[in-house]
Structure 1
Amino acid sequence: MGGLLAVFGGFFALQGAGIVMWPPESFMLANRNWIANGAIIGATGVLVLGAGLTIPRRHDAG
């Protein structure tokens, strides 16, 4: 889940920066607010991914 958030956050930031201009009907294209929004979403994804990798899992018997 964290990896997916990180990928989509990066995609949103690139759309906001006007680097990725797809899909053409997106309201995020060249909208600078989405650079920050995408960065926040991507950073959240990295944190979720990192937490998932560092929190030990409980192994149930059976």
Structure 2
Amino acid sequence: MTKPLWVVAGAVLVVMGLVWTLQGFDVIEGSAMSGTTTWSVIGPVVVVIGAALVWVGLRGRKS
């Protein structure tokens, strides 16, 4: 996978994780996921994984 794909995949995961977190904390209402503790935990984990992918994609190779 090329570096831009890592950045895009990571950014998508960050956005998804943020949405899941906000749904878990019942900030975004109207979903079966709203107000559920499970998504309050899974969301931040996905955000961290996505941020790590973005960091790997943006990190320059020294070769």
Tell me the TM-score normalized by structure 2.
0.77
Is residue 54 of structure 2 the alignment partner of residue 49 of structure 1?
A: yes
2:43 to 34, 38, 41: 38
Sequence identity (%): 25
2:18 to 6, 10, 24: 10
Q: Look at both structures and tell me which one has the larger radius of gyration over its CA atoms.
A: 1
| Alpha-carbon RMSD | 1.8
1:56 Cα deviation (Å)? 2.2
Aligned-partner residue type, residue 52 of structure 1: G
Tell me the TM-score normalized by structure 1.
0.78
* Structure 2: gaps spanning 5 or more residues: 1-8
More helix by share: 2
